[in-house]
Amino acid sequence: MAGQTPQGQEVPPGLRRILVVCLGNHCRSPFAAAVLARHGGAAVEVRSAGTRDKWVGKPAHPTMIAAAARCGYDLTGHRGVQADSALMEWADVILTMDRAILATLRELADARTVPKLTLYLDGQDVPDPWGQDDAAFAACAAGIESGATRHLR
């Protein structure tokens, strides 16, 4: 049986809505969303967002775009979005890239959305490659790819 979003839109039966959140929606969460969308196929709808508004409307970090391309993902169409209560309500699960993001979202969440929050990697942070070299971005991408399957049915 199909459900409905808070806006009254039909949700196909069995579709899982995943929101991935990092600090700026500039490095980690855009890549994680691309990975989850590819591997989840038609069974998932994936969005990404950041807790800060600095990169809203802006493309992903150029070094992350390059790291993603080396892994076969295209982030060139990404534009940053800030996490808000509507996005959190939309999601069935909210994956955070680190404990600090998890804590920030817990403060923003209401009683219905708090149970949706979890770390992307089981019990550990996905290191933020911001300000680091290509190798840090590649390592971040590898960690995100390796953690994706645990979120897909």
Active site residues: 22, 28, 128
Cα 29 from Cα 26, distance rounded (Å): 7
Range 132-136 contact pairs with CB under 8 angstroms and sequence separation of 24 or more: 134/63, 134/66, 134/67
Contact 19, 95 (CB under 8 A): yes
Single-letter code of the amino acid located at 122 = D
